[in-house]
Amino acid sequence: MNKKNNIIKISVLFTSVLLALSGCSTDEKQTVITKTKLVMEEEFSIDGAPDAALWSYEIGTGDNGWGNNELQYYTDRPENIVVADGMLKITAKEELLLGSSYTSARILTKGKLEQKYGRIEARIKLPYGKGIWPAFWMLGANSETVSWPQCGEIDIMEYLGNQPTKVLGTLHGPGYSGGGAITKSYSLIKDRFDTDFHIFGIEWGENYINYYVDDVLYNQITPADVTGEWVFNEPFYIILNVAVGGNLPGAPNGDTSFPQTMLVDYVKIYE
């Protein structure tokens, strides 16, 4: 395929497995890398709007039924979302728009690219500030017909802007959602997620989801770990967004500066 139509690329890679330090336990010291066949590579190489063949926008506020008492209005304006300099830029701004005090953007691959199992990863540099809530996550492709959390939610990376050394990896499903979700954090030592790019990913199989930061495996969730039905054996679609305020981070405060931008270098899927 040519560069312009680079949504789905097939390239066979050598399988590499790197096991280090402590055998096969899933702790912060364990490194496991398993990559076989690259089946999707979005490198954000063409300036302008995100590729419409892969990405759609969600427009509006949490009143649409997918909010968490967030404060932003999601738009498709280049001021809030654009591909430039070889990366996707999602920018939260403090401005009045249609009753909201902030604007930002949220894009998804729903109906265009839906994946069941594999390794899903993105290289991202995160923003900073109280009330800034970026995420790289997935929802079940049946979300239109099955209510949340029955459709399932995989939060590959979730981050609170006033905690720049820590990210969260979380599963939501029936019986374990919201404040009862299955979650674990990963923290950097002597580094921050807003000062450089990091790779956030999962490896997902029939009976497990492994969570990674920079190829370090820091958590594994299996059906035995959830307190309800395991709903992660169906296709899911990808979402990238930067929320402002909401139930988890709270509202911005006087120390939060705007604009704040999440930079996404690439998104990749391996079988």
Beta bridge partners of 204: 118, 209
Q: Is 28 a catalytic residue?
A: no
C-beta separation of 266 from 44 below 8 A: yes
Angle at 45 between CA 59 and CA 103, to 5 degrees: 25
158 classed as catalytic: yes
d(CA 211, CA 192): 19
- Contact yes or no for 268/42 (Cβ under 8 A): yes
User: What is the biggest distance separating any 2 CA atoms in the chain, rounded to whole angstroms?
Assistant: 54
Rounded CA separation 126/268 (Å): 18
Contact 154, 236 (CB under 8 A): yes
Which two structure tokens, joined as six digits, stand for 144? 């239109």
**Catalytic-labelled residue, pool 70, 121, 153, 203:** 153
Of the candidates 188, 185, 153, the one whose C-alpha atom is nearest the C-alpha of residue 168 is 185
How far, rounded to the nearest angstrom, does the alpha carbon of residue 69 sit from its chain's CA centroid?
19
Catalytic residue among 58, 158, 206, 234: 158
DSSP assignment letter at 225: G
CA distance 139 to 236: 5
Angle value at C-alpha 145, between 143 and 149, nearest 5 degrees:
45
Catalytic residues: 153, 158
